[in-house]
Structure 1
Amino acid sequence: MKIKLGASALLVSIALTTLTGCSMTDAKDSALPAAGTSNSEDAAAVAKKVSSEIYDLIGIKGKASNTGAGVSECSGKDPEKYFQIFHPWSFVPESADQLSGVMERLKEELPKHGWKVVEYGPDTSKNKNLSLTADNDKKKYSVSVVHRAKNNPPKLSLMVVSGCYQVPEGQKVERF
């Protein structure tokens, strides 16, 4: 269990680093885009909604994990006032062969829904998992999808990450 939690923490860290370095920016530098003003709970609800929209785009029957969203700091900003949301989840199809072609479909469908695919291809793991990263500048969200074809059972691993939110005046960031 400890190894699994450590691996999950590493995955979150890598995904946040990867996703926050993408083109989802308001400025000319690589800073996180401002996602607006919100409290942590409402921002987490938005992240779950974004995940739900991506779930619909997967377009096959299966089961999504029931993981909650989390809160992390915005690099270089006051951690009492600024935060970003991450929502890791996975999708296991009813039948493994249903995942065939799903990444290509996501690559085609995401841009039709306001997403820009910024990376697509095999990752650097020994399994050479097919991965996709896309940004939605309007929503101020980024998503990473990894097709883990050699897992038992095969699945998609997803990480949805927001831009940088600011809490309303007089409030502090709630962490969960």
Structure 2
Amino acid sequence: MVHSDEVRLLDVKNKLGSHVLAIPLALAILTGCNMTDKNSDDVPSAGMSSSRDVSQAMEKVSSGIYDLIGVKGKASSSRPFVAECSGKDTKKYFRIFHWWSFYPTSASDLGVAIERLKAELPKHGWTIVSYGPDTSKNKNINLTADNDKQKADVNIVQMSKNDPPKLSLHVVSGCYQVPDGQTVEHF
């Protein structure tokens, strides 16, 4: 099930392109990123790979997070997309973003889900960077975590006042470089 806000976001993404949306999101959720080998402009370097391989890896990361939620519900269907690494050659460097939502079967399970993630993520290689209410009028609970081994970050927002209530998840990779002789495949 895809929420109407996500449909609008997908429409905007299709009209504006993922590059326009990726930069503000990256700045908003990843300022605390702790992956190794940062370059001078604080974009985490994740190594060398193809965008397809990293996309598949980020789907596995999302799947692992889904498994940790521990309450019944459904995830939205979405695919990862390629975005640029700020200030880098867009033919050689890229990041993968995977935005999705989780809708618990029971609204009362939303708090259980975010608390379970807060407890379980560190047991699976994640470091909690921040946790607590945001500054919105709804005071949504935000959880941001880094996983150096998986070269990924996640920002999870508990949106209990949405209709329907949901967790909004943004998984993002570090900045990868394609192997010599290849260019970034955009999707």
Fold conserved between structures, TM > 0.5: yes
TM-score, normalization by structure 2? 0.85
5+ residue gaps, structure 1: none
Using CA pairs below 8 Å that are at least 6 residues apart, which structure has the higher relative contact order?
A: 1
* Cα deviation 1:46-103 (Å, max 9, x = unaligned): 0000000000000111110110101111112211100000000000011111112221
**Structure 2 residue identity aligned to 1:175:** H
Q: Which residue of 2 aligns with 1:35?
A: 46
1:140 to 151, 158, 167: 151
The Cα shift of 1:14 comes to 3.8
Partner Cα distance (1:154, 1:96) in 2: 6
Q: Which residue of 2 aligns with 1:70?
A: 81
Q: Residue 146 of structure 1: SS of its match in structure 2?
A: strand
TM-score, normalization by structure 1? 0.90
5+ residue gaps, structure 2: 14-19
* Count of residues in Structure 1 that have an aligned counterpart in Structure 2: 176
Superposition pairs for residues 72-91 of structure 1, below 5 Å?
Answer: 72-91=83-102
The Cα shift of 1:6 comes to 7.9
Deviates more, 1:164-173 or 1:9-18: 9-18
Partner Cα distance (1:7, 1:126) in 2: 26
Superposed CA RMSD in Å reads 2.3
Partner Cα distance (1:12, 1:90) in 2: 17
**Structure 1 residue identity aligned to 2:68:** L
Preserved contact between residue 24 and residue 141 of structure 1 (Cα < 8 Å)? no
Preserved contact between residue 74 and residue 105 of structure 2 (Cα < 8 Å)? yes
